[in-house]
Amino acid sequence: MEKKYGLRPAEKKDYAYSQRMTPVDYKNANLKNQIANVVNGVLRQYRFQSIKEFKAVLNQFNVTVEEVRGQAAGKPYQGLVYAATDNNGKRVGVGIKSSKVGRNVGLAALLRRIGFNKSWMKKHPPSPELKNIITDAIKTAPTKKEFIHTLQSKNIGAVIWQNDSGHIYGVTYIDHNSKCVFKGSALGKECSAGVINQRYNPGENELYEPVWEQGGNSGSREVSLSEAILDLFSLESVPHPAIDDPEPGNPYGKKKKRKTKILQSL
């Protein structure tokens, strides 16, 4: 009809990518609906390559996810539990099973989405502009808080993973402009957790003697003893191909105190 009357054809838009998501407010009613809106929106709009990265995006909207494993009636089971968080990333309230949140938000569907995202992102590398923005923020921001706020002003989220002693062992970047998620090392050494840890914990490396990675002289690099030990227990070292952030304890009730701290939007 547009061609017949010389009209301009209407542009086809993907409704899922045009939906606006708002952070969950656990003090308001319809908490389950709020969580469902965020989970479905993140699954449809963002491209992440692991459950840890999926969790990092959810944290931007005051939601967290936990992978559960166990046995029921003698049969093993695996699944996901979602819950709300406060503005500091601390979990509040009880967990909600993925089946109660909605369709296609369970573990099997999430792993399929991760596989699809990996294939897509291999063909679409991160832009040089994103890397430049992050490296400039690391150089100019005097504190972790300022670093996070500087990236926020560019519509980029940063989730910093650190332990109780303050050692930073991981960082995840969420580019809300391209809707893509990257771990720091994927953008290069300049954006990695190691560089951020050296920037904001400058005296830490002096406390440890250097050790060497195995694997031949050509591929060896010097790492601190703290990095080597933390790598054994970090979330990146869990041997599941996509699930790299299992959490112990009862996911439906009060959460056990963990030694991992997450710094996000403050």
- Extract the tokens encoding 131: 């890397």
pLDDT of residue 263: 64
DSSP string, the chain: -TTTTTPPPPPP--HHHH-------TTSS-HHHHHHHHHHHHHHH-B-SSHHHHHHHHHTTTEEEEEEEEEETTEEEEEEEEEEE-TTS-EEEEEEEHHHH-TT-SHHHHHHHHHHHHHHHHHSPPPHHHHHHHHHHHHH-SSHHHHHHHHHTTTEEEEEEEETT--EEEEEEEETTTTEEEEGGGG-GGGSHHHHHHHH-TTGGGGS-EEE-SS-TTT--EEEHHHHHHHHHSGGG-SSSS------S-SSSPPPP-SEEEE---
Strand 168-175 and strand 156-163: the pairing is antiparallel
Asked whether the predicted pLDDT for residue 133 surpasses 50, the reply is yes
The full set of domain ranges for the chain reads 15-123, 128-237
pTM: 0.71
Spatial separation of the C-alpha atoms in residues 189 and 80, rounded to whole Å? 32
Spatial separation of the C-alpha atoms in residues 182 and 175, rounded to whole Å? 8
pLDDT of residue 207: 45
What is the per-residue pLDDT across 174-217, written as a single tens digit (0 to 9) for each?
Answer: 999 999 999 999 999 999 999 999 999 987 654 443 333 333 33
- Mean pLDDT is lowest, of 140-149, 164-173, 227-236, for 227-236
From residue 233, alpha-carbon distances to 64, 198, 226, 238 in Å are 21, 20, 11, 8
**HSE (side-chain half, CA atoms, 13 Å) at 25:** 4
CB–CB of 182/175 below 8 Å?
yes
Asked whether the predicted pLDDT for residue 254 surpasses 70, the reply is no
Chain centroid, CA 188 distance in Å: 17
